[in-house]
């Protein structure tokens, strides 16, 4: 009997120790020096929080309280010692108002080689209006930074995030597997150049749900190497619609397959659903595509298949597109 009681006590002790080890540890960026005044450069505090979270064997939370936090371009790199890192954002992350500071960096906030990262809530303010004005004036300008990028990463969740006025693309998913985005809101002017809402390429198992995208370019753009993409319950507009492509820019190129776009409302957009490829030889393809339950409100071109894509008609190849398009279904849509 005594041995039996000892075993019970040891079992409870083992469960308690494991529970304590599994309990999340929180790193607040303000504790590490970040200032919520929108003026003080808080980049190093955020990187310090990431370094601690990445090195933690317990599931960590990086907490960003209310306020405005100024960040230059930052890279959050893995691999990490755990696969459950949460960025819980109650405040706003602000890019430098001078677009030249990060304009040639490529990315403002980049997550690379990570596994199991969740970004919950918060606002990302790219402050891109100055760069848009520069580009629209025809002057020589930086190309611009993507607000939020995930590269070569797996098991990513983005929920309840707002992206405002990105210099260039708002969110990019590149070389990733199993990415879930829910309740994302993207907002930029209808005349903001190259501000795609969400761009996916060389990735599989990506879902985009219950989101609203208003921008000056594609609401969602789907690049080469994308497979098993699911988009549902999306509001798009203004913008250029949802585009597969452009494809066929390179001779040897991975194709796009198994894409579902359903229950999407397009309002005041240039296009609805579009497939676009360059007029040149290519191994690329687009197949097994379903557009279902799409509603078009004041859409200039509800359905587009363009195999001689050439923006601004400059440097057009003028050849026959090698991109093979097959098994594309348009179902129960209202125009």
| Among the listed residues 275, 276, 278, 221, the one whose alpha carbon sits nearest the alpha carbon of residue 251 | 278
**CA–CA separation, 192 and 102 (whole Å):** 17
* Contacts with 248 (C-beta within 8 Å, 6 or more apart), sequence order: 277, 278, 279, 280, 282, 284, 321, 322, 323
List the one residue out of 179, 173, 242, 225 whose CA is nearest residue 205.
179
Provide the token pair at 119. 């970004």
Cα–Cα–Cα angle for 247, 250, 254, rounded to 5 degrees? 60
Note if 37 is an active site residue.
Answer: no
Rounded CA-CA distance 165/177 in Å is 27
Q: Is 104 helix (H, G, I), strand (E, B) or coil?
A: coil
Which residue do the tokens 């587009």 mark? Answer: 304
240 is catalytic: yes
The DSSP letter of residue 12 is H
The DSSP line for 117-165 is EEEES-EEE---HHHHHHHHTT-------EEEEEES-EEEEEES-EEES
Residue 236 exposure: Cα atoms within 13 Å on the Cβ side: 36
| CA-wise closest residue to 148 among 89, 108, 177, 115 | 108
Between CA 23 and CA 30, with CA 28 as vertex, the angle to 5 degrees is 165
Catalytic residue among 217, 250, 254, 293: 217
As annotated, the active-site residues are 217, 240
């Amino acid at each position: 009997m005594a041995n039996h009681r000892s075993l019970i006590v040891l079992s409870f002790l083992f469960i308690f120790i494991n529970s304590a080890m599994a309990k999340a540890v929180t790193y607040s960026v303000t504790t590490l020096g970040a200032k919520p005044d929108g003026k003080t450069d808080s980049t190093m505090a955020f990187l310090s929080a990431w370094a601690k979270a990445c090195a933690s064997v317990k599931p960590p939370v990086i907490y960003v309280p209310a306020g405005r936090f100024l960040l230059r371009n930052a890279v959050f790199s893995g691999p990490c010692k755990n696969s459950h890192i949460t960025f819980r954002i109650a405040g706003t992350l602000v890019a430098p108002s001078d677009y030249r500071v990060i304009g040639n960096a490529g990315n403002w906030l980049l997550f690379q080689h990570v596994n199991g990262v969740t970004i919950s809530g918060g606002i990302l303010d790219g402050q891109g209006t100055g760069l848009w004005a520069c580009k629209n004036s025809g002057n020589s300008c930086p190309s611009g930074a993507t607000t939020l990028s995930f590269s070569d990463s797996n098991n990513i969740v983005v929920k309840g995030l707002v992206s405002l006025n990105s210099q260039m693309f708002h969110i990019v998913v590149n070389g990733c597997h199993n990415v879930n985005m829910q309740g994302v809101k993207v907002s930029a002017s209808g005349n903001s150049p190259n501000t795609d809402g969400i761009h996916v390429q060389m990735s599989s198992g990506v879902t985009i749900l219950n989101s609203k995208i208003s921008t000056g370019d594609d609401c969602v753009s789907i690049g080469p190497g994308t497979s098993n993409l699911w988009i549902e319950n999306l509001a798009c507009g203004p913008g250029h619609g949802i585009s597969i492509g452009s494809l066929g820019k390179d001779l040897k190129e991975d194709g796009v397959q198994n894409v579902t776009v359903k229950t999407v409302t397009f309002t005041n957009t240039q296009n609805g659903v579009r497939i676009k490829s360059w007029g040149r030889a290519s191994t690329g393809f687009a197949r097994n595509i379903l557009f279902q339950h799409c509603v078009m409100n004041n859409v200039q071109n509800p359905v587009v298949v363009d195999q001689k894509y050439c923006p601004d008609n400059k440097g057009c190849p003028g050849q026959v597109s090698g991109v093979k398009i097959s098994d594309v279904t348009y179902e129960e849509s209202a125009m």
